[in-house]
C-alpha cells in the first residue's frame, strides 16, 4: 500500500484520491439467506450490479463466495462470506485544512470539521474522510497504532456528523467550520461515550431554517424517527411506527430556540439541542415543524413519507440525470456547493473528571443575522425549558443536572408532549409532537 502522503492530489481546490484496488467483504445477512447471490446483489445494489457487471465479475473471479468465484446458482447460507474486488475511485472533497481545537483533555481531540467531508468510512468514501486525511496530514499526532491497515486503531469517533454538515467535534471536525470529537484510546472512547449517553455532555447546533420561527420562543419536538432500508437505499422519516418490514422506529427529541429572523432571505437562525442521537434528527424535526433547513436538498420539500421521497428522488433524477440517486441518501439532488446550513457549534461536558468546552467559529452563512449571543446565555434558556418540561411530566431531577439527560430517563420526561400541561400544547403543521412554550 502506498504511503498516506501519496494517496491524494489537489486540483482546482478539491482533494482527489488516486484510484486504488479494494476488496469489499460482507457476511450473509439474515434477509439474504436462501436467496440466489445474484438476485440479492441485483436487488440491493442495482446501480453497481447490473446483469452485465455481475457476469463480468463472475468470469474474472472478482466476485467470490467463501473464497471461490460465484456461480449463477449459488444461494446464500448462514456464515457465507462474499467478496468483491473493485478499483475504487472516490468523489473529491473540498481541500480545506482540518484544524485542531483545544479541549483541555489529553485523551480527546477536538477537530474543526469542514462541510463536504465525511467523518469516517461510509458509502463511496474511505480515504477522503476526516479520519484518514487527519492521519495523513498529522503523522506527529501518532493517531494509528501500527497494527491495523484501516488506520483507525489510535482514533475513535465519538459521534458522527453528516457529510454536508459543518461543525465542531470531539473527534471533531470546508469552508464553514464545526466541531468533531475524537477520543485517542479505547478506554477514553468508552468513558466519553458513557458521558454522552447519560447526558453529561451538551451538544448545540445552529441551523438556518426556512420561514419565520418566532425568536426567543423555545420549542420542544418529540417525534419518533423511522429508518428504512430497501433495495440498497436508506430513508429517514418522522413516523410514529415503522410501515415497512425493514423499518426501525426510535424515540427522538430536540429542543429548538429561534435566535433571529432575516426578512431579506425569509430565514430564521435556529439553535438546536438534540436530546437523542438519531440519523438526520435535526433536519427531520425542522421539516416536521414547517421550518426545514433552507438549502437542504433532502428535506426542504413536501416529501415526508417513504412513498413521497421515492417519487421526489425520481423526479430529481429525471430533471437532472447527473443528480440521479445512488445508494447513499445524502447524494440526492446534491447542490453544487454540497453544504447545508447546519453547523455543530459547541460541545461541552459538565462531569468534573472530564470537563471540557469546545466551540467552533461561526460559519459564513450566519452573517445576515447581526446578533448571536454567547453559548452560556442559550444554555440558561434551554435549562429553563427542560426544568418546566420535567415539572410538567411530574419527574423531579436536581436542577444541577438539567442540561443533558440519560436515554433511560428521556422516556419519562418526554413521554408525550400532549401531557405538558403548563404549556400551550399545539400540534405542528404536520401532526403530533411539538410544544410551544
- Would you name the residues annotated as active-site residues? 162
The answer to whether 300 and 312 are in contact (CB under 8 A) is no
Q: 269 - beta bridge partners? A: 208, 260
Residues 6+ apart with CB under 8 A from 295: 208, 335, 339, 340, 341
The helix (run of H) or strand (run of E) holding residue 392 is helix 375-393
Distance CA 341, CA 193 (A): 27
Q: Peptide bond preceding 171: is omega within 30 degrees of 0, i.e. cis? A: yes
Residue 63 CB contacts under 8 Å (≥ 6 apart), including other chains: 54, 57, 69, 70, 82, 83, 84, 85
| Burial classification of residue 399, based on how many CB atoms lie within 10 Å of its CB (0-12 exposed, 13-18 middle, 19 or more buried) | exposed
Residues 401-409: contacts with CB under 8 Å, at least 24 apart:
401/199, 403/202, 403/350, 403/379, 404/198, 404/199, 404/200, 404/201, 404/202, 404/350, 405/199, 405/275, 406/197, 406/198, 406/199, 407/197, 407/276, 409/199
Which residue blocks in 185-261 are alpha helix, DSSP H?
Answer: 186-198
Report residue 174 as a C-alpha cell.
470546508
Integer Cα distance of 239 and 430 in angstroms: 11
Distance CA 332, CA 346 (A): 28
d(CA 146, CA 237): 41
Reduced to 3 states, what is the DSSP secondary structure of residue 21? strand
Amino acid at each position: 500500500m502506498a504511503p498516506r502522503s501519496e494517496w491524494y492530489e489537489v486540483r482546482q481546490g478539491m482533494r482527489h484520491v488516486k484510484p486504488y484496488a479494494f476488496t469489499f467483504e460482507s457476511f450473509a445477512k439474515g434477509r439474504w439467506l436462501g436467496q440466489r447471490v445474484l438476485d440479492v446483489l441485483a436487488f440491493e445494489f442495482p446501480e453497481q450490479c447490473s446483469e452485465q457487471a455481475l457476469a463480468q465479475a463472475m468470469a474474472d473471479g472478482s466476485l467470490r463466495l467463501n473464497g471461490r468465484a460465484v456461480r449463477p446458482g449459488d444461494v446464500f447460507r448462514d456464515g457465507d462470506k462474499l467478496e468483491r474486488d473493485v478499483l475504487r475511485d472516490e468523489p473529491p472533497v473540498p481541500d480545506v485544512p482540518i484544524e485542531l481545537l483545544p479541549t483541555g483533555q489529553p485523551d480527546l481531540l477536538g477537530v474543526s470539521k469542514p462541510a463536504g467531508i465525511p467523518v469516517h468510512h461510509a458509502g463511496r468514501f474511505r480515504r477522503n474522510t476526516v479520519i484518514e486525511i487527519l492521519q495523513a496530514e498529522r503523522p506527529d499526532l501518532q493517531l494509528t497504532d501500527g497494527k491495523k491497515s484501516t488506520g483507525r486503531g489510535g482514533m475513535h469517533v465519538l459521534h458522527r456528523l453528516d457529510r454536508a454538515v459543518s461543525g465542531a467535534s470531539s473527534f471533531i471536525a470546508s469552508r464553514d467550520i464545526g466541531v468533531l470529537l475524537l477520543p485517542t484510546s479505547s478506554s477514553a472512547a468508552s468513558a466519553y461515550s458513557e458521558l454522552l449517553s447519560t447526558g453529561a455532555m451538551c451538544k448545540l447546533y445552529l441551523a438556518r431554517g426556512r420561514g419565520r420561527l418566532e425568536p426567543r420562543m423555545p420549542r420542544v419536538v418529540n417525534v419518533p424517527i423511522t429508518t428504512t432500508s430497501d433495495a440498497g437505499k436508506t430513508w429517514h422519516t418522522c413516523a410514529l411506527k415503522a410501515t415497512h418490514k425493514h423499518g426501525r422506529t426510535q424515540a427522538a427529541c430536540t429542543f429548538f430556540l429561534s435566535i433571529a429572523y432575516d426578512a431579506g432571505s425569509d430565514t430564521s437562525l435556529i439553535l438546536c439541542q438534540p436530546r437523542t442521537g438519531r440519523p438526520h434528527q435535526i433536519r427531520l424535526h425542522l421539516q416536521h415543524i414547517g421550518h426545514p433547513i433552507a438549502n437542504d436538498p433532502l428535506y426542504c420539500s413536501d416529501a415526508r413519507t417513504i412513498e413521497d421521497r421515492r417519487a421526489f428522488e425520481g423526479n430529481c433524477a429525471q430533471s437532472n440525470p447527473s443528480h440521479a440517486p445512488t445508494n447513499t441518501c445524502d447524494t440526492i439532488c446534491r447542490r453544487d456547493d454540497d453544504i447545508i446550513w447546519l453547523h455543530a457549534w459547541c460541545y461541552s461536558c459538565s462531569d468534573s473528571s472530564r470537563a471540557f468546552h469546545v466551540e467552533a467559529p461561526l460559519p459564513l452563512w450566519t452573517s445576515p443575522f447581526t446578533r448571536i449571543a454567547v453559548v452560556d446565555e442559550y444554555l440558561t434558556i434551554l435549562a429553563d425549558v427542560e426544568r418546566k418540561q420535567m415539572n410538567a411530566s411530574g419527574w423531579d431531577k436536581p436542577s444541577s443536572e438539567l442540561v443533558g439527560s440519560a436515554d433511560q430517563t428521556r422516556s419519562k420526561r418526554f413521554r408525550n408532549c400532549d401531557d405538558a400541561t403548563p404549556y400551550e400544547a399545539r400540534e405542528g403543521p404536520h401532526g403530533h409532537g411539538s410544544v410551544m412554550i
